[in-house]
Structure 1
């Protein structure tokens, strides 16, 4: 059986080819959706814009970690992000190093999107991302002599999905990558269209796999930086959330691209993913608007316990509370006795704020936002940006 020749072992490595006619439609749709998203965002109040930043950055930090099998604490992470962006008062949440580190990295991607990419930038991101970890080379490219492989299956009979360049080759490979990335930026010597540049940047970087760990998360951060540079402002796009919804497909597409440098199929997948991410982002903006309308109507009708619970439910975003919301959840969040929780929940149902389904231990409550949900007028909002 012939040995697999990986993409970086081939003569056209670094000179990626693609059929632009297959990608152009995604570029046009991306541009159209970007105008729509910006149009909606500009109609938000300053507070709602800040809420949008916090929620999107928090969701992206959570999901980019979950794609790699790491699950962070949402409330702790959101507290850290608020502090990083200067958008919240100090609270009593104990922020763990993992949450603090990725919050710092996401803030740097967001605020310094327009700066050139450098080795120092990438190593700083890695140091932030690996905060609190041990037994790793942190804040520098890998140096170990063992092959860097992506494997699955039994320990004694692993399936090798990909093998990255040897550690000794990483510095020169990364020098070429960084040079390509900066040359392909708007105003660079060889500028590329947004989706082509971001899509190639991701597959190029993760194929080099320069760090011991965190390459996927940093690779998706590079995508955010690339798109932001092409847009001329932070993208605020639900990329990792979209990938996480179909994580298996993401890994299958990465694997399919590991043995060749014609990236047409990868860019088609990537273009579809970015368009879906934009649509998720627009839903998130709609959700922010809906929340604002809800609180304008009901904030004075809620006691402190009820307000705390509703804020916790809303942290879950448009998809709602996973597994449904129960009286047990209410007691856990408010630290209140059963009788108080029952009385509060009955009050919320009576006011039409919660709807109730099921009976006894199967009873679940849903926050009813339907009276405050209005479909955005896409045409008028798009025209508002012109």
Structure 2
């Protein structure tokens, strides 16, 4: 089987500009509207909004690879790294911490040069113990395994979806990749010809495809490819803060994501179809952010309103669960037994905590009384 990296002319990707115009125009329009709205609402200065998007991006980029993180542990890690109040939060997850470090470095330090050592340190951060699941892997170095195959199916009946370049070829391939990245980096003072560089959104899509096709590491390639995508988007938008989650959208389109990758990796150097998929994914991720932004604003207003309220660790945990569910999204409302299940406290303690939050106008009791009473979080209004 011949793959794209076997072709003469690799890695000089091509695309059909006439087919890009419509998708690129929609993406730019959605981007402009979002950035304008963020600025007018003051969300660009809001750390709560930054926290929520980082939580979403961390959880979803890991989930694409089948790695599941606890939401509250991720929240704890992020608020600590952003220097926000972290008392009463859950203990951070060591494995999630590494991924969070990578995402934050890619987004906040988007103007800094991308180097071989930086990429290698990202991969090492993803596997602090040197294991991927139960398998011991090489971290912080290019893979040596030959061949590196992406497979699925039961042992003995595996289906090979893709085979990456041989391990011995990786140093050369990654030098080519970094040279390509540097030439298109808008913050590179030595950038020779800006007119010949691809549009910033197309560059982000190419970077994603290029890196995951080279597949330079034993594991973690997908997560790093998505971090590079975020970094390229940060360079294009000239801001460290994302208000949409590309990984969240990719997760919801996971099947088509892998299908278009496989098709493009087995195709020609013309990657128009991949770039169209990427642009549509980007546009949809921004459209998806509408509900997320509304929820982020409500969360921010909620904590502003109750900034002086004395709340214990368990109360904050339950409130965050209700906020994450959104208005009317916590099925059946909060009950004493659900509170016990989430916090592992006694029923008496749960009742006291809930009663305290009712008195502080955080919770409101439903119509039913007695043992069947349920409570809803009182969300602030901003419309």
How does the TM-score come out when normalised to structure 1? 0.83
Q: How does 1:207-222 map to 2 (within 5 A)?
A: 207-222=213-228
Contact 1:83 1:90 in 2 (8 A): no
1:122-142 CA-to-partner distances (Å, cap 9, x unmatched) read: 101111111123321101110
Contact 1:224 1:235 in 2 (8 A): no
1:237-262 CA-to-partner distances (Å, cap 9, x unmatched) read: 31111111121111111111111221
Contact 2:363 2:375 in 1 (8 A): no
Number of the residue aligned with 2:211: 205
> 1:242 and 2:239 equivalent?
no
> 1:9 and 2:15 equivalent?
no
What is the alpha-carbon distance in structure 2 between the residues aligned to residue 268 and residue 196 of structure 1? Answer: 9
Q: How does 1:206-285 map to 2 (within 5 A)?
A: 206-236=212-242, 237-260=244-267, 261-285=269-293
Number of the residue aligned with 1:166: 166
1:107-163 CA-to-partner distances (Å, cap 9, x unmatched) read: 21121111222111110111111112332110111012x310011112112110000
Number of the residue aligned with 1:150: 150
Number of the residue aligned with 1:104: 101
SS of equivalent to 1:372: coil
RMSD: 3.3
Give the 3 Å change call, closer, same or farther, for CA 121–337 of structure 1 in structure 2: same
After alignment, is 291-300 or 103-112 more displaced?
A: 291-300
What is the alpha-carbon distance in structure 2 between the residues aligned to residue 347 and residue 83 of structure 1? Answer: 27
SS of equivalent to 1:290: helix
Give the 3 Å change call, closer, same or farther, for CA 7–320 of structure 1 in structure 2: farther
Contact 2:43 2:49 in 1 (8 A): no
Uncovered stretches (5+) of structure 2, i.e. residues with no partner: none
After alignment, is 327-336 or 227-236 more displaced?
A: 327-336
> 1:18 and 2:18 equivalent?
no
Give the 3 Å change call, closer, same or farther, for CA 97–303 of structure 1 in structure 2: closer
What is the alpha-carbon distance in structure 2 between the residues aligned to residue 18 and residue 319 of structure 1? Answer: 45
After alignment, is 45-54 or 163-172 more displaced?
A: 45-54
What is the alpha-carbon distance in structure 1 between the residues aligned to residue 382 and residue 247 of structure 2? Answer: 25
Number of the residue aligned with 1:311: 320
1:189-233 CA-to-partner distances (Å, cap 9, x unmatched) read: 442112211111111111110000000000000110111111111
Contact 2:333 2:374 in 1 (8 A): yes
What is the alpha-carbon distance in structure 2 between the residues aligned to residue 59 and residue 339 of structure 1? Answer: 34
Give the 3 Å change call, closer, same or farther, for CA 95–235 of structure 1 in structure 2: closer
What is the alpha-carbon distance in structure 1 between the residues aligned to residue 220 and residue 292 of structure 2? Answer: 27
Residue among 73, 77, 93 paired with 1:76: 73
What is the alpha-carbon distance in structure 2 between the residues aligned to residue 365 and residue 56 of structure 1? Answer: 27
Q: How does 1:322-337 map to 2 (within 5 A)?
A: 327-337=336-346
Give the 3 Å change call, closer, same or farther, for CA 28–269 of structure 1 in structure 2: same
Q: For this pair of structures, how many residues does the alignment match?
A: 369
Number of the residue aligned with 1:63: 60
Contact 1:195 1:267 in 2 (8 A): no
Contact 2:245 2:285 in 1 (8 A): yes
SS of equivalent to 1:150: strand
How does the TM-score come out when normalised to structure 2? 0.84
Number of the residue aligned with 1:129: 126
> 1:140 and 2:141 equivalent?
yes
1:285-341 CA-to-partner distances (Å, cap 9, x unmatched) read: 221222344456677899656554222322456895589765433113444433554
Give the 3 Å change call, closer, same or farther, for CA 333–23 of structure 1 in structure 2: same
